[in-house]
């Protein structure tokens, strides 16, 4: 919005108006705005949520030695959503297809998450929105994203190619096709020729290969959106864990978006060039500011929980963002925290059902899932044990910080993989 205003003012030679042409300036502005909005309006929203939810039991893990979380309001993800949308509307170009895709993702999953939280808190139904309706919503979003990629003429890339000027490895050069094309290619880590085309999965289709490749792409998009949004949802169990982990992932995605939208960096890294993706850096800045600002109230001990309103939205944003910049195959590394949380739940359920059939009683691999609750309970053996060996107790805040550190390492590895070929 402000971009278009100041672009007009720049044509009138207004001093300083040209600053809005620079991605770095608008990204910094979006970051400041989102931090201010999330911290400034956060207190008012929390007070309103507490007033609305008074008398409701929001969460009680029953972990001895840990502070009670009863009465802490949920649905705080509204703060994050507002702090993302307003700065992006103000600072980004509104004629950019990728920005609108991120708007759709944020609002779509925000509504699904809010509905789930509303049913849990106000309808007093612990199950919330039925699982099949959540899945339908996530699948619907993945379908919309995939179809926009296929149908929109603005979603194009310039494919990278290696040009050898001689026999020596030093003489290899990366160039881009002159034309912007629609493509089902993506970036695959660790391999020298790091472009992977989904059409390779349907080589047998002959002349129908390309249409089928787009169907495969849409199906993979649906899977990724569903998996990552649910992974973020499972990670939201300790104060600040999901918000902090998402902020770290957001930094990595912002860097990758900038590199993918910059011809020289894309050439240096031998990744495809994506015109228009530079506007996503502004969205990433707002995303980072919103999640960090939310930590002001969500860090231990939390004054508010994001609920499904926030966690489903954060996961969906991360998934769609990675798909847009063609880095979705890096998600298992970048979102490693989300991945192990999901795997821990799957392992626990499968092992419990297996042992119940085999031994007549269900057994568990972890003390509690998702995985962060296992560490939370690991050293907890009652008050007497705490008094005798307090060093065995792992405080919630320490678990969260350790997960953050692992997330930082995974984010660095994700970026480094682009040159580890």
Q: What residue has token string 């980072």?
A: 288
Residue 105 is assigned to a structural domain of this protein: yes
Report the length, in residues, of the chain. Answer: 421
Please state the domain count of the chain: 1
- Specify if 421 maps to a domain: no
116 assigned to some structural domain: yes
Asked whether residue 298 is assigned to any structural domain, the reply reads yes
Q: What is the DSSP letter of 273?
A: B
Cis peptide before 399 (omega within 30 of 0): no
Which of the 8 DSSP states describes residue 202?
G
Backbone φ, ψ for residue 273 (5° rounding): -90, 130
Q: What is the pLDDT at residue 179? A: 64
Low-confidence residues in the chain, pLDDT < 50: 57-58, 60-66, 168-170, 382-383, 385-391
**DSSP-derived 3-state class of residue 105:** helix
Is 359 a domain residue? no
d(CA 309, CA 409): 27
Report pTM.
Answer: 0.90
| CA 412 to mean position of chain CA atoms | 16
Paired with 181 in beta bridges are 157
Tell me what pLDDT residue 6 has. Answer: 62
Domain that holds residue 120: 23-352+396-416
pLDDT of residue 207: 82
């Amino acid at each position: 919005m402000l971009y278009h205003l100041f672009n007009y003012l720049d044509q009138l030679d207004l001093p300083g108006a040209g600053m809005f042409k620079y991605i770095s300036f608008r990204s910094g502005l979006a970051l400041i705005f989102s931090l201010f909005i999330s911290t400034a309006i956060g207190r008012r929203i929390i007070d309103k949520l507490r007033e609305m939810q008074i008398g409701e039991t929001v969460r009680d893990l029953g972990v001895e030695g840990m502070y009670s979380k009863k009465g802490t309001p949920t649905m705080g993800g509204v703060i994050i959503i507002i702090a993302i949308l307003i700065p992006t509307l103000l600072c980004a170009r509104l004629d950019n297809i990728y920005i609108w895709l991120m708007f759709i993702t944020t609002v779509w999953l925000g509504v699904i998450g809010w509905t789930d939280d509303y049913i849990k808190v106000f309808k007093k139904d612990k199950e919330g929105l039925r699982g099949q309706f959540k899945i339908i919503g996530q699948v619907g979003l993945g379908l919309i994203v995939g179809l926009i990629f296929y149908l929109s003429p603005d979603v194009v890339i310039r494919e990278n190619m290696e040009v050898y000027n001689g026999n020596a490895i030093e003489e290899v050069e990366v160039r881009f096709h002159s034309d912007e094309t629609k493509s089902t290619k993506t970036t695959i880590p660790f391999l020298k020729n790091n472009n992977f085309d989904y059409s390779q999965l349907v080589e047998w289709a002959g002349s129908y290969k390309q249409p089928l490749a787009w169907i495969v792409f849409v199906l993979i998009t649906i899977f990724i959106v569903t998996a990552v949004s649910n992974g973020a949802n499972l990670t939201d169990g300790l104060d600040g864990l999901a918000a902090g982990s998402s902020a770290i992932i957001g930094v990595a995605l912002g860097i990758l978006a900038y590199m993918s939208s910059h011809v020289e960096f894309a050439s240096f890294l031998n990744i495809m060039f994506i015109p228009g993706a530079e506007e996503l850096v502004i969205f990433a800045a707002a995303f980072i500011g919103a999640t960090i600002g939310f930590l002001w109230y969500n860090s231990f001990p939390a004054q508010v929980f994001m609920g499904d309103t926030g966690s489903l939205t954060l996961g969906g944003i991360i998934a769609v963002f990675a798909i847009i910049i063609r880095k979705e195959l890096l998600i298992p590394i970048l979102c490693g925290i989300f991945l192990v949380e999901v795997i821990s739940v799957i392992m626990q359920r499968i092992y419990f059902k297996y042992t119940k059939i085999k031994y007549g009683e269900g057994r568990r691999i972890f003390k509690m899932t998702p995985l962060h609750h296992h560490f939370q309970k690991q050293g907890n053996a009652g008050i007497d044990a705490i008094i005798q060996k307090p060093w065995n107790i792992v405080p919630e805040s320490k678990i969260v910080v350790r997960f953050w550190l692992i997330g930082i390492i995974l984010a660095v590895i994700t970026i480094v993989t682009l040159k580890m070929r």
